[in-house]
A = this chain, B = another copy of it.
Amino acid sequence: MTSTSGQALVRPATSDDHDAIWSILAPVYRAGETYCIPTDISREDALLDWFQTPFTAFVAEVDGRILGTSHVGRNRPGAASHVANASFATHPDARGRGVAKTLVAHAKTWAREQGFRAMQFNFVVSTNADAVHSWQKAGFDIVGRLPAAFLHPKHGYVDALVMFQDLTGGQP
Contact = CB atoms under 8 A, between A and B. Distances in A.
A136 to B, nearest CB: 16
A77 to B, nearest CB: 6
Contact of A39 (B32, B78, B147, B164): B78
Nearest to A161: B144
A146 B143 contact: yes
Contacts of A153: 79
Interface in A22-67: 32, 35-39
Copies of this chain, count = 2
B148 A117 contact: yes
Contact of A78 (B37, B120, B122, B148): B37
A123 interface: yes
Given A118-B149, A143-B144, A123 B32 contact: no
Interface residues of A, number: 35
A118 B148 CA distance: 9
A80 B123 contact: yes
Interface string A111-151: 00000011010110000000000000000000111111111
Given A118-B149, A148-B166, A80 B160 contact: yes
A53 to B, nearest CB: 14
Interface of A: 32, 35-39, 76-83, 117-118, 120, 122-123, 143-153, 157, 160, 162, 164, 166
